[in-house]
Structure 1
Amino acid sequence: MKSVNPNGGLVYSTDAGRMCPDCRQPIAQCACRKAVAPPTDGVVRVFFETKGRGGKGVTVVRGLGLADPELTVLGKKLKAACGVGGTAKEGVVELQGDHRDRVMALLQTLGFRNVKKAGG
């Protein structure tokens, strides 16, 4: 089944699911949205969260203002420096465990000037 937008263009297909209106690719393979950095206020905030994770603590870094390719590279550097697992997606880097101080120091050495500990 295919659904077509009245202004032209495919919006949904049972073959691939949702389609990007700009590049007309499936959302999972869309290249045009991944290349754009999310907006930021210039402050990198480093949180420690346990909410919604079954009591497991996670260090969360928000406000980097990087597009997905650069965010993935930074996420790998942070995970390697802390020796933990984690993920980098949608403008946020998550690291398993409480590594706020180490992450803040590393981000400052990488050139992020306005890094703050947030959330308690």
Structure 2
Amino acid sequence: MDLQDQLKSLFPEHVSDEIPTESKESDNLWIQDDPILCKYEKRKGKPITILEGYTGATEDFKVLAKDIKKTLSVGGSFKDDKIIIQGDYRDKIMQMLKDKGFNVKRVGG
């Protein structure tokens, strides 16, 4: 018996005012026609993955960056309309973006 069931048994006439919302922030991203470019570089000897070419709102791109970093459990940043992810995660990032409905193009390597 969970907490909700216990509360219902204690207060049977109570009607909950809350409506459960399960939508994520990333569900409302603007999907573009042009592909997002996924690059691989080495800076100071360390590998990084760069995503660029998003033509939507900057805030949407920041939400996408946060979602990628959280899913992969890696560090990164958002600078100059580019997402910079620490490490070589091109394949995983491209699959994530394709699942969200984006067109992705691999550049280099």
| TM-score with structure 2 setting the length | 0.65
The structure with more helix, counted as a fraction of residues: 2
Higher Rg of the two aligned structures:
2
Q: Which runs of 5 or more structure 2 residues have no equivalent in the other structure?
A: 1-31
How far is the alpha carbon of 1:115 from its aligned partner? 0.8
| TM-score with structure 1 setting the length | 0.60
Indicate the RMSD between aligned Cα atoms, in angstroms.
1.6
Aligned length: 78
**1:68–1:90 Cα contact (<8 Å) kept:** no
The equivalent position to 2:53 in structure 1, one of 60, 63, 71, is: 63
- Cα distance per residue 1:60-102 (max 9 Å; x no partner): 0111223221111000001011110001132211100000000
- How far apart, in 2, do the equivalents of 1:90 and 1:78 lie? 17
Q: Which runs of 5 or more structure 1 residues have no equivalent in the other structure?
A: 1-39
Tell me: higher relative CO, structure 1 or 2? Use CA pairs within 8 A at least 6 residues apart. Answer: 2
**1:72–1:89 Cα contact (<8 Å) kept:** no
How far is the alpha carbon of 1:41 from its aligned partner? 7.5
Q: Which residue pairs with 1:104 in the alignment?
A: 94
- How far apart, in 2, do the equivalents of 1:109 and 1:41 lie? 15
**1:61–1:94 Cα contact (<8 Å) kept:** yes
**Matched residues, percent identical?**
38
Q: Which residue pairs with 2:105 in the alignment?
A: 116
